[in-house]
A = this chain, B = another copy of it.
Amino acid sequence: MNLTVVGLGLIGGSLAKDLRTKGIAKTIIGSDKSLIHCQKAKELGIIDDYKPLEEAVKEADIVIVSVPVNATLKVLPQVLDNISEKTVVMDVGSTKSEICKLIQNHPKRKNYVANHPIAGTENSGPEAAIDGLFDKKTTIICEQEKSDPKAVLLIKIIHEAIGMHVIHMDADEHDRHIAYVSHLSHVISYVLGKTVLEIEKDETNIFELAGSGFASTARLAKSSPEMWTPIFLQNKKSLLKSVDEYIKNLNDFRELIANNDENALFEEIGKINDIRRVLDGLALKRAKGH
């Protein structure tokens, strides 16, 4: 199978690596607006060669569009305009409503499968691509009824081959849920990073005291603005809803502390500990491969 990867970052690069390792992709052509990324990806053996977009997708059996979600709005229609009838196209973006709406009437809508693999790290670029990134993780296919059933099956099979669990979801529902379990986490981690960096200006060596708890909570604040700015803006409605609920809860929690309300605070934390069920459940599911 001839694979073309448009956008040679962490996700596109890691998909290329795994699909080659599993024997699914025989030839991999890359395309990226950054020539440095193209050269680096070739040098690392992630792609066999690189070409300009139109040329890169022409002969492809499968095209993976793995660019920031604002770029997807431009790139995906270009890809669909230039592919053959048999080509299947998927994206990997963390927002699904806007892109699905944009291309709903495209003549090649059926060739496209709206897809979001829940995997990644806080790093970016072709050097950040890693083997086995998707193993035991989940990918979400949205609006499958608007794609050719064989295209959906094909995308399902290649994800399962690299160890993923495939679920299906409505695009709006996806964006609503992911606002809470991913985008909100990024917002609060960025704001933690900002708050502590600000105080560092006045308090020397404050990070001498930072332990693994801080490292864990602030990890996502390393994530790139290229990827996250457009995600926040595309999912603005759901994200702001989650942020507003978060702010309300944070103010309530603050009041319990300010009022020395020991019993209520104790009880509240005890209830929140139910998150252990969720996190341990996720870890178990991942260990088992679902």
Contacts and interface: CB of A to CB of B under 8 A. Distances in A.
Interface string A199-222: 110010011111111111111111
A77 to B, nearest CB: 21
Interface in A23-70: none
Interface string A153-194: 000000000000001000000101110111011111111111
A208 B138 CA distance: 8
Interface centre among A228, A233, A262, A272 (most CB of B within 10 A): A272
A107 interface: no
Interface in A112-168: 118-121, 137-138, 140, 167
B194 A228 contact: no
B180 A199 contact: yes
A195 B120 CA distance: 23
B177 A209 contact: yes
A217 B218 CA distance: 7
Interface in A225-260: 225-226, 228-230, 232-233, 236, 239-240, 242-247, 249-251, 253-254, 257-258, 260
Nearest to A253: B191
A71 interface: no
Q: Is the interface of A mostly helix, strand, loop or mixed?
A: helix
A218 B188 CA distance: 11
Given A177-B206, A229-B265, A250 B193 contact: no
Contact of A257 (B138, B182, B236, B257): B236
Nearest to A179: B199
A101 interface: no
Interface stretch (A9-17, A80-88, A274-282): A274-282
A276 B233 CA distance: 24
A283 interface: yes
Contacts of A242: 195, 199
4 shortest interchain CB distances as A-B pairs? A225-B269, A193-B275, A185-B217, A181-B210
Interface of A: 118-121, 137-138, 140, 167, 174, 176-178, 180-182, 184-200, 203, 206-226, 228-230, 232-233, 236, 239-240, 242-247, 249-251, 253-254, 257-258, 260, 262, 265-276, 278-279, 281-283
23 contacts: A140-B209, A174-B209, A176-B203, A178-B209, A180-B203, A181-B209, A181-B214, A186-B213, A190-B268, A191-B253, A193-B272, A193-B275, A194-B272, A197-B272, A197-B278, A210-B282, A216-B220, A219-B279, A225-B268, A232-B265, A233-B262, A236-B257, A236-B258
